[in-house]
A and B are shown apart, each in its own frame.
Chain A
Amino acid sequence: MGKTVTIDAKGMHYTPLNKKIRQAVADGAGEIIIDNVLGQRFIGNGLRGDATIVVNGVPGGDLCMFMSGPTCIVHGNADHAPGNTMNAGKVIIHGSAGDAVAHSMRGGTVFVRGNIGYRGGIHMKQYDDKRPILVVGGNAQSFLGEYMAGGLLIVLGMDGSEYFGRGVGSGIHGGEIVIRGDVDGSRLGVGAKKLPLTEDDRQRIAPVIREFAGAFDLDPAELLNAEFTRIVPASARPFAGKYTWE
C-alpha cells in the first residue's frame, strides 16, 4: 500500500479538489484523506485503481460517479446519487444519503449505514460478472429499485421501522430487492411481485450482510436471522404490451 496523502478541502471548489485527488492517485498514494468536505460534488469521479479515499464531512452529489476500483469511506452524510453509474469499487457511507443512491450503478458496492431518500437503486443493472450491490442499514423512502434492471438491493431496517414507502420496484425487470419484514402488497410498484426469502436466498445474501456488518463494526447475527421479503420482476418484460404489440 502506498503512502497517505491528506487534503484540506475547506472552502475548496470541487474542480481543484478532484485534481488533487487524481494527482495523489497518479503519484501512487494508497490512502487519501480529505478533511473539511462540505458540499463538493463529483468527488472521486471516474477514478481507477485501488486507493482508499476517506471523506471527512458532507460531500455534494454524485460522489464516486463512474468510479472503477477505489474504496471511498464517508464519515458524514452524502447528498444525491452516490455511486451513480459506478463500475467497480466500494462506497461506504457512515451517515445517511439523499435521493437516487446508486443511480444506474453497474458494478461494485454501496453501503449506507443510515437511511436513504427516494428512488434508491434506480435503474441498477448487471451484465455477466458485473452485479452491483446496494445495502441500506436504516430505511429507504419510496420508489426503491425503480426501473431496476439487475443487481441486489437490501434494506436492513436496523432503526426498527417497517418499510413505509410506495412503488417498490416500479418497472423492475431484473435484479432483486430484499427488505426486512413484510412489505404490504399495496406498497409494490407496477411490474413487481413479492416472494418469501428461501433458505437458498438467505445463504446467497449472507456474505453481503456479513461484509456490511464488518464495514460498520456491527454484529451480523441478528441481521442474518431476520425475516425478509424478496421483491423481483413479475416478468422479464413488464411493459411488453404497453408500447409494442407482438
Chain B
Amino acid sequence: MCGIIGVMDRRRQRMDGSAIKRALSMMNERGSGEGAGYVAYGVYPEYKDCYALHVFFDNTHETKRIVDTTLEQWGTIVHDERIPTYDQPGLRAIHIPWRYFFKPDPNRMSHSRSPEDDIVAQIVMRINTARKGALIYSSGKNVGVFKAAGWPEEVADFYRIEDYKGYIWLAHNRYPTNTPGWWGGAHPFNLLNWSVVHNGEITSYGTNRRHIESYGYQCTMFTDTEVVAYLFDHLVRKHGLDIDLAVRALAPPFWDDIDTMPEAREKLNRAIRLAYGPAMMNGPFAIVVANHDAMVGFTDRIKLRPLVVGECGDRLYISSEEAAIRAMEPNVERINMPPAGEPVIGRFVV
C-alpha cells in the first residue's frame, strides 16, 4: 500500500509545492514513514537547457570526485551546488543531495539519434551500477526529484518543497513491503524526463528487468518501480511509441477482449502484445508517470489498486484517494474512477 498523487496545469501555469505536500499528507495512512518524495516539472527555468542531475552522495570529499570526472569527460558542468536542505527532527540525513546542471557534448556519441539523452542515460547507469557512494536519481531537463526516507511532511520540509514551482507535480508516500526503505528506493523514480510514482507491486519485475537490461538499462534501486521509468524511456524515446501505445504494451487488454475487437484494433493490440510481451507488467499497480509533454495514470488490468481522477479548470489530478485531490482543490468539478488498464492522459494545451 502506498499513496500517490499527480497534478498538472494544462497551460503550464506553475504551482508551488505546498498544496501537493498537504494532499500527500492526507494519505499518511498509506505510508510507513520510510520513504516519500516529490518531482516537479518546470522547476529550473534558469537552467532549462541543461540536464539537472540530482545525486545522493554518501560524502562529498571521497565520492563527488568520481561524478565530477565522469561529467567532465562527457560534457560541461555549467553549475553545481548542494541542494538546500533543512534539518527535520524525525528525518535522519543519510545522504547529501547535490545537483549538477550539465551540458553533454553530442560529438562524443555521434552515432546516436539522440546523443545528449544517450550520454546522460549511460552516465546515470554507469555511476549507479558502480556503487561508489553516488546515486543519480534525477536526470531530466528542467525537472527535479526531491525524495528521502521519511514521512511526506518531513521530506517536504527537508527540501522546503514550497520554494519550488512546477507545472506538473507527482508525489508519493511509501509503504515498502518487499524491500527495505532507503533514500534511493523512495519514489518518484526518474530517468531523463520520465518520472514515475507507483502504488502496488510489479510481480513481473524479474521478466521486465531482464527485458529492459538487455537494452542496456541497469536496475540499481533494489525495488520494482524503477523498471517502469526505464520501460517508458525505452518504448517512447527509443521505439517512438505514443504514450497511449506504451501503456497498452505495459498493461495490455486480455486476449479474450482482443479477440472481440474490430479487425484493425485487434491487429494493433495483438501486435503490441506479441512485440512487447516481456514488457507487460503483472501484479497490483496504480501508476502515474509524467514527462514534459503529458501526465498519465493507469492501473493493472484487474484493478487491484485505486486510482481517482479529478479535473478543475486547466488542472488535472490523479490520486489514490479523492480526499487528497480535494485537499488540493476543494472545488474539483469532475471525479471519476477510470476502468482498469485504460490510461488517463493529460496533455498540455499550450
| A interface residues, Cβ below 8 angstroms from B | 38-39, 41, 58-61, 77, 79-80, 96, 98-99, 115, 117-119, 141-143, 167, 186
Contacts and interface: CB of A to CB of B under 8 A. Distances in A.
Contacts of A38: 26, 323, 326-327
A119 B29 CA distance: 22
A115 B339 CA distance: 13
Nearest to B321: A79
Nearest to A118: B303
A39 B26 contact: yes
A238 B321 CA distance: 35
Interface majority SS (helix, strand, loop, mixed), chain A: loop
Contact of A117 (B26, B256, B306): B306
B341 to A, nearest CB: 11
B324 interface: yes
B322 A141 contact: no
B26 to A, nearest CB: 5
A60 B256 CA distance: 36
B94 interface: no
B261 interface: no
B337 A58 contact: no
Interface string B317-349: 000011110110000000101011000000000
A37 to B, nearest CB: 9
A39 B321 CA distance: 8
B340 A58 contact: no
Contacts of B29: 41, 60
B322 A58 contact: yes
B268 interface: no
Contacts of A39: 26-27, 321, 323-324, 326-327
B306 A60 contact: no
B90 to A, nearest CB: 17
Given A41-B29, A77-B335, A117-B337, A142 B323 contact: no
Contact of A141 (B27, B327, B337): B337
A186 B308 CA distance: 27
A80 B306 contact: yes
B24 to A, nearest CB: 12
Nearest to B327: A38
Contact of A118 (B26, B260, B340): B340
Contacts of A77: 322, 335
A-B CB proximity, top 8 nearest:
A39-B323, A118-B303, A39-B26, A117-B337, A38-B323, A58-B323, A58-B322, A79-B321
Given A142-B303, A143-B302, 10 more contacts: A38-B26, A39-B321, A58-B322, A79-B322, A98-B322, A117-B306, A119-B303, A141-B337, A142-B339, A143-B303
Contacts of B306: 79-80, 98-99, 117
A40 to B, nearest CB: 8
A141 B340 CA distance: 9
B23 to A, nearest CB: 10
Nearest to A38: B323
The winner among B29, B323, B324 for most chain A CB atoms within 10 A is B323
Nearest to B324: A39
Contacts of A186: 256, 260
Contact of A60 (B302, B323, B335): B323
The winner among A39, A60, A96, A186 for most chain B CB atoms within 10 A is A39
Contact of B303 (A41, A58, A61, A99): A99
Given A117-B337, A118-B340, A141-B337, A60 B321 contact: yes
A142 B26 contact: no
A98 B303 contact: no
8 contacts: A39-B27, A39-B323, A61-B321, A79-B321, A99-B303, A115-B337, A117-B306, A118-B340
A41 B340 CA distance: 24
Given A98-B337, A141-B339, A142-B340, A79 B323 contact: yes
Contact of A58 (B260, B302, B326, B339): B326
Interface in B126-169: none
Interface in B269-316: 302-303, 306, 308
B186 to A, nearest CB: 22
Contacts of B340: 118, 141-142
Contacts of A98: 306, 308, 322, 337
Contacts of A143: 302-303
A39 B320 CA distance: 11
Nearest to B305: A99
A228 to B, nearest CB: 23
Contacts of A167: 302
The winner among B302, B308, B337, B339 for most chain A CB atoms within 10 A is B337
Given A39-B323, A39-B327, A79-B322, A141 B335 contact: no
Nearest to A117: B337
Contacts of A60: 29, 321, 323
Interface string B248-266: 0000000010001000000
A77 B327 CA distance: 14
Contacts of B256: 186
B252 to A, nearest CB: 15
A159 B141 CA distance: 45
B324 to A, nearest CB: 7
Interface in B1-60: 26-27, 29
